[in-house]
Amino acid sequence: MSTTIALIAHDSQREQLVSFVEENTVALSFYELIAPERTAQYLLQGTGVEVQVLSSLHHGGDIELAYRILQETEIAAVIFFLDPGFNLSSPEIQVLIRACNLQNVPLATNRATARAMLSGLTRSRSAHLIFNPVSGTGNSQQDLVLIRQLLEPHIYLKVSFTTPTISAQQLAQEAVDSGVDMVIASGGDGTVSAVAGAVMGTDISLGIIPRGTANAFCMAMGIPGNIRGACNNIIAGVTRTVDMATCNDRPMILLAGIGYEAETIDKADRETKQRWGALAYIMAGLQQLDEQVVFDTEIEIDGTTSRVRSGAVTVANAAPPTSILAQGLGEVIPNDGKLEVLIFATNENDNQKFTKVRAIAGMVELFGSALLKTGTQRDNMIGLRASKVKVKTEPPQKVVLDGEIIGTTPLEIKCIPNGLKILAPTVIPQTNNQEPETLAEADS
């Protein structure tokens, strides 16, 4: 796909060009912009957009641009705002016209033709929207109307709906097979995870429009949590590469929770979430603190096996600070090629319940660790990083995967480094910190 647009303007038309760029910032942000030196400086001062600088037209900039049009396939269009009195037989425009004609590159010479051309270029992208109509607590029909109003002026959009018999992953696989430029998931974290499972390992980008209760993956990736902001993020088209994971051969974008977290999610049923929203998880979590019992855990970290007694085990690929039980190391890094593991260990007898006060104190510390991006210092919480994790428990424990209960232990989780391309607005931080990667190192 061509990714570069050339911007040029005569002196009398530079204000018009600045205004045009300001009006079309979202659409233009999908492309690399190039311009002759004086035009580039004017655009930078007037709009703040980044522009690659060519030579000025008087010093061969027209020839340089014509050469790039003829030699490369990256030039999507040329926008040259001409002075109305300009002589069209001038060599500087003739060389560009000839180059554009030879390579079939569109050339716009005023605001109206530039607007029409840009609309055509942006709509040349195609996307398949996988829409879960039962996600969230809002009006799904109104949500879809707004999404189409925002996206369809820029993207050729096909919409498919999940049903009790047609899964998001099935629809997403059909979209991948059709060769679209991007697949968009609109729903909760479960819908996003299912779509990501079909997209992972391909060059197709995943766009996300969050409409679930928690929307934790969007929070972790910096994607706006409202429909309008999420659609603008998709239109902008900035892609980031992040890690994926598999849990018992199922796709995992966020985390797998064993014990406390799984029981909490199981208690927060759809009816409760529709009534209370995110508060449903807090209510369920407080109830589970009175009921959670400890269990024997055998955990294998990158081939090294250890045994502990625990009340909760969390293995995370990505997670926002609000996913408290993933914060043993203070930060879950989604593009480091590792999984973050937190074990809530205990020496209590097998049938004893969590000590509620101690558990709450530990969670408060974990939340503080996430805010400060520092690892926890509590002796009953062990944080590790690993590329592969296996967990067995006695008795078997429920497992929650990306917000959905999938069964019980045992489980095996593998990180897939750089396995997913997503449309996200910010650079995801990385770290060079060295954390322990085995239980023995953590205890030493």
Token readout for 306 is: 């250890």
By DSSP bridging, strand 182-187 and strand 205-210 are parallel
Comparing CA positions, the residue from 244, 202, 209, 261 lying closest to residue 424 is 209
The DSSP bridge partners found for residue 35 are: 53
62 is catalytic: yes
Helices 91-103 and 61-71 cross at an angle (nearest 10°) of 10
CA distance 207 to 211: 13
Dihedral sign of CA atoms 241, 247, 253, 255 in order: negative
Catalytic residue among 11, 62, 350, 402: 62
Comparing CA positions, the residue from 341, 293, 324, 330 lying closest to residue 437 is 341
CA distance 287 to 273: 15
Residue for token pair 């600045």: 18
Determine the distance from the C-alpha atom of residue 102 to the mean position of all C-alpha atoms in its chain, rounded to a whole number. Answer: 39
Active site residues: 62
